[in-house]
Structures are given as C-alpha cells and as structure tokens.
Amino acid sequence: MARHSPIRAEPRRTDNAPATIDLSHDGVEEICAGLRPLLADVFALYLKTKNFHWHMSGPHFRDYHLLLDEQGEQIFAMTDDIAERARKLGGTTLHSISDISRHQRLHDNNELSVSPQDMLTEVHADNKLLAGELRALHEVCDRNGDVATASLIENWIDETERRAWFLAEVIGG
C-alpha cells in the first residue's frame, strides 16, 4: 500500500505585512489593532439584532421584524470586508466566539424577555456607539495614510448612521 504524504500548509510568515502594502509596520499594527475589536463589535451587533428580530412581538411585529432582519443582513455583510481588510494589511483577525467576546466593546443582551421598544432603543444606541468607534478608527487610518481602510470605514459609517436614523424614527427619539 502506497503511503501518501500529507498536504502541508504554507508556512506562516513571521512578517505579516504583505509586500504590496506601503504602510509602516507600526501603522499596520495600529490599524489592525482597531479592526479586531471593530469586527467583534459588528459580530456582537449582528447577533443582538438577529436575536431581537427572532424574539420580536407585539402589534408592530411585522414591521419591526423586517426592519431588524434587513439591518442584520447589512451588519453581517460588513464582517467579511473588515476581516479581509485586516488580512490584506497582513494582520490577523478573530478566530472564535470566545475571541469575539474578548474583543467586543458592545454589550450583549441575554434577557429572556425584552419589550419591542427596549429592543429598538438598545440597537439604536449600539449603532450610535459603533458609528463613534468607526470614526475613531478612521482617524487612526488617516494618521497612518491608509486611505483604503478609511474609504471602507466611510461607507460603514454611512450605513450605521442610516440604521440609527431608521431606528430613531421608529422609537421616536
């Protein structure tokens, strides 16, 4: 019986920065250090938004259920772009649920029952916090000359502000 040699993974680079990135090593480190908690926050907001979508009830069920579903899809779409940007820069990204929980800044909601008004108010506040975190990371990108990440962040800020606006209109605030 012939022995097959196992498939070997490419060796890990010790210098994570790709040769095509012309940013400083320190700049890449600082930007990636901001992308990791951003990604954790986006995953946390996605799961909270979907949780509230799944547990919505009341007279406005259909409207709120659909709103949170739409927002959840938009939030989830951000995750791949954030992770891939970190990898393009030569950084690492999140590896697991526990890694997400170690890096997230947004708070989970594990309550068994939350009123529709409280659900919408909470995801509204979280979107506002996320917009602030995005702005702070944009400043890091500007300081380090990373126009590509800054450009992505500008789009995410716009999307996040739109979600917050829609939620503010629904909750009356």
**pLDDT tens, per residue, the chain with 173 residues:** 444 444 433 333 435 555 557 899 999 999 999 999 999 999 999 999 999 999 999 999 999 999 999 999 999 999 999 999 999 999 999 999 999 999 999 999 999 999 999 999 999 999 999 999 999 999 999 999 999 999 999 999 999 999 999 999 999 96
Residue 170: the pLDDT is: 96
Residue 132: the pLDDT is: 98
Residue 17: the pLDDT is: 52
Residue 11: the pLDDT is: 33
Domains and CATH numbers, the chain: 25-171 (1.20.1260.10)
Q: What are phi and psi of 73, to 5 degrees?
A: -60, -40
